[in-house]
Amino acid sequence: MEMVFNGVSRGLRGETRVPPDKSISHRAAILGAMAEGVTTASPFLRSGDCMSTLSCLRALGVGLELEGDTLRVEGKGVSAWREPEGWLDAGNSATTMRLLAGALSGIPIRCEIRGDASLSRRPMARIVEPLRAMGAEVEAVGEGNRPPLVIRGGGLKGIDYAMPVDSAQLKSALLLAGLQAEGETRVRGGKTSRDHTERMLALMGADIWFEEDAVAVRRSTLEGHEIRIPGDISSASFLLAAAALVPGSRLVLRDVGLNPTRAGFLSVLNSMGALVMESSYRETDNEPRGDLEAASAELAGVEVDGWRIPAMIDEVPLLAVLGCRAKGETVVRGAGELRVKESDRIAAICAELIRMGGRLEELEDGFVVHGPAKLVGARVDSHGDHRIAMALAVAALCAEGETVISGWECVDISFPGFAELLRTLI
């Protein structure tokens, strides 16, 4: 599927909401299924990835229904999960595969989790090795420790584990396994990676505590809870970037999640000179949220590395777009994890922006953007990656002429209706 965008001269104007947070939606479904009692989550994100999670949970015998944007999970604890008749299909969702691997590691049933072609290229050794150390039988049977995953769980013992990569999915998998393990499970590192799992575990009554550079859990029974899900800040970032780039813009986004472990992009936007303001800050169900207002501004290049990368990992391709229009150099280092996302996001965004007239140099763990550059419309490729597709759409708005983006259907993974919403604001 192709989507066509034209450069615009007038600003983005209006007030809107973005889709519910994808990370929180996944976790509400999985933790609700592990809990005792009813969990309701609203508004739940009806995206491809989240539907994959619900499909897997249904195959495991979990009772749930999604009516409108409200998910209701009839939690009966993991002891009620049954061995599926076939394999579990995680689709494109690494979150589904890795978090379910952690949950299933404590249950004495055999499961195989598969994914699509993109997910089948994602590395899984990072979760296989520590889950095996806890006592589960876990194997990545694809070439090079890649999916499918085959799991036979049960008989877990807690471990003290230092994460080799700053990964929220790895941290979450070990914590979900730790809920079912004998003794304590301690995960060291990862304090700058998103912490939605820890927050939701605390909300649902887990025996969880925090140390200087670690989070730890003991065997716990979770209790069902009502969870109100804020707007997804990663989805909001594409609209904020468009407002910053297109002259004359003034845009208000209501009820967006403002979790500090996800807000690195807001910090970088401000460092570049963008006008982004927060208001109506509040905390609901252990998650901070508020409204964001953005306006167009002259941008300057920045250097981003270290702790800020995990807090904006999904928005790094978008930073390359901003760098194309900013004065001076924009440099990103320490983002090697982008090489093993839905696509090689470093290679993909550099190649496609160069097609549009951007001046970029690809680094092993990031890129250098020389700005400002005059962008021109071109035929570009999403690489089957929703973040790349939406970043290119933002670039198209400040390019001269028409841009055609192929593989647009992947956007439904996280932001169904993105193109239509964008056009209502122009």
pLDDT band at 37 (very low <50, low <70, confident <90, very high): very high
Q: What is the pLDDT of residue 36?
A: 98
DSSP 385: -
Fill in the amino acid letter for 57. L
Share of the chain above pLDDT 90, in %: 91
Tens-place pLDDT, residues 60-103: 999 999 999 999 999 999 999 999 999 999 999 999 999 999 99
Mean pLDDT score across all residues of the chain: 95
Alpha-helical regions (H) of 19-77: 22-34, 48-59
pLDDT at residue 208 greater than cutoff 90: yes
Tens-place pLDDT, residues 147-180: 999 999 999 999 999 999 889 999 999 999 999 9
pLDDT at residue 192 greater than cutoff 90: no
**Which of 44-48, 86-90, 192-196, 348-352 is predicted least confidently?**
192-196
Q: What is the pLDDT of residue 9?
A: 79
pLDDT at residue 340 greater than cutoff 90: no
Integer Cα distance of 82 and 318 in angstroms: 42
CB atoms closer than 10 angstroms to residue 165: 16
Render the burial of 214-224: b for 16+ CB within 10 Å, e for the rest: bbbbbbbebeb
pLDDT at residue 58 greater than cutoff 90: yes
pLDDT at residue 329 greater than cutoff 90: yes
pLDDT band at 190 (very low <50, low <70, confident <90, very high): confident
Tens-place pLDDT, residues 348-390: 999 999 999 999 999 999 999 999 999 999 999 999 999 999 9
pTM score of the predicted model: 0.94
Q: What is the pLDDT of residue 302?
A: 96
- Please identify every residue annotated as catalytic: 314
Give the E-state strand segments of 189-327 in sequence order.
Answer: 208-211, 214-218, 226-228, 250-257, 275-284, 287-295, 303-304
Domains with residue ranges and CATH for the chain: 2-20+231-424 (3.65.10.10), 22-228 (3.65.10.10)
CB 109 within 8 A of CB 81: yes
293 or 144: which leads in pLDDT: 293
CB atoms closer than 10 angstroms to residue 186: 19
Share of the chain above pLDDT 70, in %: 100
Q: What is the pLDDT of residue 281?
A: 96
Contacts of 126 (CB under 8 A, 6+ apart): 164, 165, 167, 170
pLDDT at residue 306 greater than cutoff 80: no
Q: What is the pLDDT of residue 297?
A: 94
pLDDT at residue 191 greater than cutoff 90: no
Q: CA separation (Å) from 54 to 68, 89, 141, 420?
A: 14, 10, 24, 26
pLDDT, mean of residues 35-47:
97
